[in-house]
Chain A
Amino acid sequence: MKQPIRIEDEAQFLDPKLVKISHNQFAELQAELPDGSVHAPVEPVRTFPLTQPDQYISLLDAQKNELGLIEDINQLERADRTLLAEELKKCYFMPKITRIYSLEGQFGVTQWEAETDSGSVFFDLRSRNDITSLSGGRVLIKDIDGNRYEIVNYHQLDPKSIALLETQI
Chain B
Amino acid sequence: MHSGGFSRRDMHRMARSTGRRSNARRPDAEMTILEEVPAALQRQLESVLEEKEDIKIAISTDLQFDGSYGKDWVLATEKRLLAFNQNGVPAPEVQNIALEAIDEIEIRELYGNNFMKVRTSEGAVEVARYSKRLAPKFAEATPEIETLIDKVKPEDAEKSKRHRKFVDPGKKKIRCETCGRPIPRWSDVCPNCVEKGKLLVRLLKYAIPFWKVSVPALLIMLVIRLVGVYPPILSKNLVDDILVPATMAMTGGQPVDPGAFGQLLTIVFMMVGAHVFTAVFSAVRGYMMTWVGQRITLTLRNDAFQHMSVLSLDFYQQRETGNLMSRITQDVGRLRDFIAEGLQDIIGDSMALVYMCIIMFVINWQLALWVLLPIPLIVLFSFYFGHKMHKVFHVLWRRYAGISTILASTIPGIRVVKAFTREKYEVDRFEEQTHQVFEGEMNAAKLWTLYQPIMTFLTYIGTVLIWLVGGRQILNGELTLGEIMLFMTYMTQFLQPVRTLAQMNRRFLRAATSAERVFEILDTPPSVASRKDAVDLPNMRGQVEFRDVFFSYDNEKNAINGISFTTKPGEMIGLVGHSGAGKSTLINLVTRFYDPNEGDILIDGHDSRDIELRSLRGQIGVVLQEPFLFEGTVADNIGYGKPDATRQEIIAAAKAANAHDFIIKFPDGYDTTVGERGARVSGGERQRISIARAILKNPRILILDEATSSVDTETESRIQEALGRLIQGRTVFAIAHRLSTLKHANRLVVLKEGTIDEIGTHEELIAKGGTYANLCEKQTELSKIRAW
Contact = CB atoms under 8 A, between A and B. Distances in A.
Interface residues of A, number: 49
B112 A118 contact: no
A114 B131 CA distance: 15
Interface in B98-121: 110-113, 115, 117, 119
Nearest to A26: B124
A106 B515 CA distance: 12
A147 B69 CA distance: 13
Contacts of B26: 113, 122
A127 B182 CA distance: 9
Interface string B690-730: 00000000000000000000000000000000000000000
B539 interface: no
A27 B21 contact: no
A125 B110 contact: no
Shortest 8 CB-CB distances between A and B: which pairs? A120-B22, A119-B69, A93-B112, A93-B113, A26-B124, A124-B182, A145-B132, A146-B132
A42 to B, nearest CB: 13
B68 interface: yes
A111 B69 contact: no
B183 A109 contact: yes
B21 A91 contact: no
B20 A101 contact: yes
A159 B318 contact: no
Nearest to A92: B111
B24 interface: yes
B175 A144 contact: yes
10 contacts: A92-B111, A93-B112, A93-B131, A101-B22, A105-B182, A107-B184, A107-B191, A146-B132, A147-B133, A158-B15
Interface string A37-49: 0000000000001
Contact of A129 (B27, B63, B67, B318): B318
B691 to A, nearest CB: 34
Contacts of A119: 24, 68-70
A32 B75 CA distance: 36
Interface string B405-429: 0000000000000000000000000
Counting chain B CB atoms within 10 Å of each CB, which of A115, A119, A153 scores highest?
A119
A98 B15 CA distance: 10
B221 interface: no
B3 A127 contact: no
Given A99-B15, A119-B68, A158-B8, A147 B181 contact: no
Nearest to B67: A118
Contact of B24 (A106, A111, A121, A147): A121
A146 B556 contact: yes
Interface residues on B, range: 35 or more
Contacts of A49: 111
B135 interface: yes
Given A120-B23, A156-B11, A157-B11, A93 B182 contact: no
B2 A152 contact: yes
A111 B190 CA distance: 13
Counting chain A CB atoms within 10 Å of each CB, which of B4, B112, B119, B124 scores highest?
B112
B192 to A, nearest CB: 8
A81 interface: no
B786 to A, nearest CB: 25
Contacts of A115: 22
Contact of B135 (A90, A124, A145): A145
A25 B185 contact: no
B21 A101 contact: yes
B607 interface: no
Contacts of B68: 118-119
Given A26-B119, A118-B68, A124 B8 contact: no
Contact of B115 (A90, A95, A148): A90
A27 B135 contact: no
A119 B112 CA distance: 15
Interface in B121-138: 122-126, 129, 131-133, 135
Interface string B251-276: 00000000000000000000000000
A145 B131 contact: yes
Nearest to A142: B112
B183 A156 contact: no
Interface of B is mostly: loop
B50 to A, nearest CB: 28
A94 B185 contact: no
Nearest to B23: A120
Contacts of A121: 24, 69
B213 interface: no
B182 A111 contact: yes
B181 A111 contact: yes
Contacts of B111: 49, 91-94, 148
Interface in B197-244: none
B535 to A, nearest CB: 32
A169 to B, nearest CB: 9
Contacts of B135: 145-146
B8 A156 contact: yes
Nearest to A149: B112
B182 A125 contact: yes
A77 interface: no
A27 B24 contact: no
Contacts of B183: 109, 126
Counting chain A CB atoms within 10 Å of each CB, which of B4, B22, B63, B119 scores highest?
B22
A91 B556 CA distance: 16
Interface in B487-527: 516, 520
Given A27-B124, A118-B67, A122-B24, 12 more contacts: A94-B111, A119-B70, A120-B24, A120-B69, A122-B26, A127-B184, A127-B186, A147-B113, A147-B133, A153-B3, A158-B11, A158-B15
B712 to A, nearest CB: 30
Contacts of B27: 122
Interface string A19-42: 000000111100000000000000
A108 interface: yes
B201 to A, nearest CB: 16
B7 to A, nearest CB: 9
Interface string B287-318: 00000000000000000000000000000001
A152 B1 contact: yes
Given A101-B22, A118-B68, A144 B8 contact: no
Contact of A156 (B6, B69, B131): B6
Given A27-B126, A101-B21, A127-B185, A93 B175 contact: no
Counting chain B CB atoms within 10 Å of each CB, which of A144, A148, A157 scores highest?
A144
B626 to A, nearest CB: 22
A122 B639 CA distance: 53
B165 interface: no
A94 B63 CA distance: 12
Contacts of A90: 67, 110, 113, 115, 129
B680 to A, nearest CB: 33
A89 interface: yes
Given A107-B184, A147-B132, A159-B12, A93 B110 contact: yes
Contacts of A101: 20-22
Nearest to A163: B391
